[in-house]
Amino acid sequence: MKLKQIFSRENVKFVAIFTGSLAGIIVLLIYLILPFYTRQHQLIAVPNVCNLSYSAAEKILKQKDLKIVKAAEKYDENFPPGFVIFQNPEPGSTVKKGRRIYLTVGKGQRVIEMPKLVGLAERDAKFVLSDHNLRVGQISYEIDEFLPDGVVSEQSIEIGRLVSVGEQVDLTVSLGVEPTIYIVPNLVGKSLQEALREIKKAGLTLGKVNRQKTDKLLPNTVISQSFEAGLEVDRGDTLNLVISQLKHGIEEQSESWSR
């Protein structure tokens, strides 16, 4: 075959088309098919490690060739300390091997130091408890020879003790020194709680509490008392009360008192 025939226009065109097609196939293999094939063997589903201990989560993720990262720690009463609360990427997500999995680990229920309440006014002590996310429990009132009226004399949880958020704290509040003369206080119009406090402060004893239905007063408001206000009586004398009750509906007892 002559050289001129070999390098004819038709042959050159065929070779060019063949070479171009082959190059295109190679490019397709390198940039599209081969990476896709490779990724298919590298991609894995992220396992669910929430509600597991950090050590257990670490073991599972390492078995999947994934890297564990403790991203944050958070107080959460629903999870024991050291257990996984949240993970990113989420369970079931498809990722490459070696991908970092970020975990938020629980620190358990938040604890705080019990603040000092003794020596504070009752109102201030309630504010302090609220600021520390603690609950006011039962409040009792007692005669105290050293602390003035209205000051906290005892707290049910000792100062500095570690307590959980939301814990209930009972208080004892001073009524001041015991009176030398026992005078009946005016209780009409006061709430039952206020009346009980005044009775104890006056050195008297609460007797019978009768209820009278009315819609003109708030529930548990004192309507009448068995002794006239201002009357001098003996220490520990019994004072009976009549308090209001709604004509319809059920009343709530907001606080328990010791008589």
Q: Is 7 contained in some domain? A: no
Q: Which two tokens stand for residue 179?
A: 């009176």
Query: What pLDDT score was predicted for residue 258?
Result: 44
DSSP annotation string for 134-202? -EEEEEEEE--SSSPTTBEEEESS-TT-EEETT-EEEEEEE--SPPSSEE----TTSBHHHHHHHHHHT
Residue 14 lies in a domain: no
Cα Rg for the chain, rounded, in angstroms?
40
13 domain residue, yes or no: no
- Rounded Cα distance, 68 and 52, in Å: 13
Query: Is 79 inside a domain boundary?
Result: yes
pLDDT for position 110: 86
Please indicate, yes or no, if residue 204 is contained in any of the structural domains.
yes
Residue 145 lies in a domain: yes
Residue 73's domain is classified under what CATH number? 3.30.10.20
Residues 65 and 101 in one domain: yes
Provide the pLDDT for residue 86. Answer: 95
Q: Is residue 19 part of a domain?
A: no
Shared-domain flag, residues 119 and 141: yes
Q: What is the pLDDT of residue 190?
A: 96
pLDDT string in tens for the chain (259-residue length): 544 554 456 655 665 676 766 666 776 666 665 555 555 557 899 999 999 999 999 999 999 999 999 999 998 888 999 999 999 999 999 999 999 999 999 998 888 999 999 999 999 999 999 999 999 999 999 999 999 999 999 999 999 999 988 999 999 999 999 999 999 999 999 999 999 999 999 999 999 999 999 989 999 999 999 999 999 999 999 999 999 998 875 444 433 344 4
Residue 30 forms part of a structural domain: no
Q: What is the pTM of this model?
A: 0.60
Residues 6 or more apart whose CB falls under 8 angstroms from that of 233 comprise 182, 183, 184, 204, 227
184 and 211 fall within a common domain: yes
Q: Same structural domain for residues 163 and 140?
A: yes
Is 128 found in the same domain as 74?
no
By residue range, what is the domain housing residue 159?
A: 111-178
* Same-domain pairing of 90 and 101: yes
In this prediction, residue 15 carries a pLDDT of 58
Q: Choose the final residue of a domain: 53, 81, 106.
A: 106
**164-166-170-173 Cα dihedral, nearest 10 degrees:** 110
